[in-house]
Amino acid sequence: MNDVHILLKAFFINTYNQNQTVMAHRITDTCIFCGACEPECPVTAISPGEDSYIINEALCVDCVGHHSEPACVAVCPGESIIKV
């Protein structure tokens, strides 16, 4: 691989990474405040609110790089966590 190929590869990888948008998850008002989700979050994006748990959408990484599926969704008994 010559220098041009290396530069082109770096350009395309960088462009690809910039276009990746990580979605977040949100806990809906059907949350029963059980707390199952909070300890499962690998980036501590979940915390208790007044009467339901809340996901800090700025912190949520969709579990990318941590789990094969969103950990909070997998444990929520009420299916109260949606992708936004």
Q: Minimum distance from CB of 5 to ligand SF4 (Å)?
A: 36
DSSP code at position 46: E
Q: Which is nearer to ligand SF4, 13 or 43 (CB)?
A: 43
User: Shortest distance, CB of residue 80 to ligand SF4, whole angstroms?
Assistant: 12
Q: What is the CA radius of gyration of the chain?
A: 18
Q: What phi and psi, each to the nearest 5 degrees, are found at residue 55?
A: -100, 125
Shortest distance, position 9 Cβ to ligand SF4, whole Å: 30
Select 7 or 39, whichever has its Cβ closest to ligand SF4.
39
- Residue 9: CA atoms inside 13 Å, Cβ hemisphere, count? 6
Residues that bind ligand SF4 (CB under 6 A): 25, 40-43, 45-46, 55, 60-63, 70-72
> Do residues 35 and 54 touch, judged by C-beta distance below 8 A?
no
